[in-house]
Every structure is written in C-alpha cells, then in structure tokens.
Amino acid sequence: MPTTFLCEGAEMGERPTRIPVIAVIGYKESGKTTVIEGLTSRLTERGYSVATAKHIDQKGFRIDKEGKDTWRHAASGANPVIAVSDVETAVIHRRGLGALNLRSLLGLIPKADLLILEGFSKIVLGDKHIGKIVCVRTLREYEDFRRRIRGEALAFCSLETLGEPILSVKENLSTLTERAIEYVERRKSILEILDSLPNLDCGKCQYRRCECLAEAIHDGRAKLDDCVLIKVRPKLKTRITLNGVEVHINPFISEIVRRSVLGMISTLKGVEIRGDETLQIEISQKK
C-alpha cells in the first residue's frame, strides 16, 4: 500500500481525529456493509475494539417511533434520551448530520481503537485524516471516485470481479484486513507522537503543523528534537506562586501548564512564540 503524506496540501483548519477512522464508501448495493462485517469480525478477532457508525440516507428517518415512551421523552424536550433494556442501551440524540461533524461524532464514542464509518461520503471524501475503502460496482465508478478522493485510499474493492487494482471482496478480505491494520497502526503511532509535541503549530521547524512533524518523525524523515520547543524544554521551568508562596508541581503538571499557557498566548495578535520565553502572569484581587 503506498504511503500518503497527510499533510501535503492539507488545510490549516483541518485537525486530526483522536483515533484512527476508516470510511467504507460507495453507492447503494456496492457491498459496503459486507466489507464492514468482514473487517469488524476479523479486527475484533485480532483484539481491536471497533466502533462503527452508519449514515442512513433516508430523509426524515428516525430511530425512535412516534408515540413510544422514549419518543414522548424527546418530544417533551429531553436530549439525549437513553433507553435501557436487559441486553442493550441506546442513546438517542436529537441532532442529525447537519448538526454533527466527524469530531463531534467521535465524542459519542467512549473508547475504541478505531471507528469504521459506512457512508458519510460528503464529509469523508475530502478529509485526509480518514482512510478510505471504496466499494464500486463498475470501472466507471472506480474512475469517478479516484478523481474525487483526497488522502489515503486503502483499497478499491467490488463484489464483482473487475480486475486490478480493484480487489474482489470475496477473494481478498484478508488483504483488506491487513491494509486496515497497517493504516490503523500507522495512525495510532502518529497520534502518539503528536501527543508528545506542543501542538502550537508555530511553524518554527520546517513543517507547517505539529501533525506534519509527527508524521515525518514516524516515517524517519525527522526527529523529535526538530521541534524548537522540545529542544529548549530542558532549559525551561514552570514556577507557580500563590500569594507569594511557591506551589510545587511535578514535571507532568508543569508541562501541561507550559503548553496550555503558551498555546493560548500564541493565538493573540502580534505574539510570536519561540519557545525560550520568560513569561510572568500575575492575578491579583481588585482593591
């Protein structure tokens, strides 16, 4: 599978997802659900915790039914409504795709190693942070998606036998699984590296964003010390005094305070962060 550099051509406003996301996209009856069934089964067998989300392309569709108790709860203003039985718990939010983006969707997932989407083509086709498996029925559909897609296409596949480079779902499910695992592990590694970076996107290294540097570190094109803020970190100290008395903080809290304060200040007009600043903040009570 060819490596795609996610930061090439990425917009400054685009932010990475907190866990790897794979979208299985394609037109109706192209095999999306079949692919997700196979992937989810094999990934969970390998020990991965998999969450899935499906876009229901039916105008006005509601999971709840009018007149039911949960529907009456929602009609009276409750949001969300939680329905609990002896075998399932359902959380119903009264907001559709128009009020929901991918990042807020991820916020609904308590914990998972990855999220697999079915559909959502309009929001995932142009998102470079999402790995895509594209299900096609014809060569024309393959050419159409190939032109429109941005970012990493893990595979093009079909329920039909269309020939290379389109994989047959029935014969190549193992290949699809391995490509998904390779993508997930790479994204997890990049996100872990990103967590160790300041995430100020100061541009003092040769990369536009911290995510780009994290990707370069993972691929061996850069190292952690290429980050100016990390390079000067051993020389920095965060010192907090409260009413003239120093509050002793451990290195972990010290780093959180340093990154948070510098991050907020870096957004102010006319402020340029180098990483070796001496910063003093005083909060006093009005007299």
The beta-carbon contacts of 52-58 under 8 Å, at least 24 apart in sequence, are 52/115, 52/116, 52/117, 52/118, 53/105, 53/115, 53/116, 53/117, 53/118, 53/120, 54/117, 54/118, 54/119, 55/97, 55/117, 55/118, 55/119, 55/120, 57/28, 57/119
- Position 96 scores a pLDDT of 65
- Position 254 scores a pLDDT of 74
Q: How far apart are CA 184 and CA 258, in angstroms?
A: 31
Q: How many domains, the chain?
A: 1
- Position 4 scores a pLDDT of 47
Is 222 a member of any domain? no
Is 39 a member of any domain? yes
Give me the domain span that covers residue 143.
1-56+101-195
Is 62 a member of any domain? no
CATH code, domain with 149: 3.40.50.300
Is 273 a member of any domain? no
Is 13 a member of any domain? yes
Whether 139 and 1 have beta carbons less than 8 Å apart is answered as no
Is 233 a member of any domain? no
Please give the model's pTM, rounded to 2 decimal places. Answer: 0.74
pLDDT tens per residue across span 18-33: 889 999 999 999 999 9
Is 85 a member of any domain? no
pLDDT tens per residue across span 214-239: 999 999 999 988 887 777 666 556 77
Is 9 a member of any domain? yes
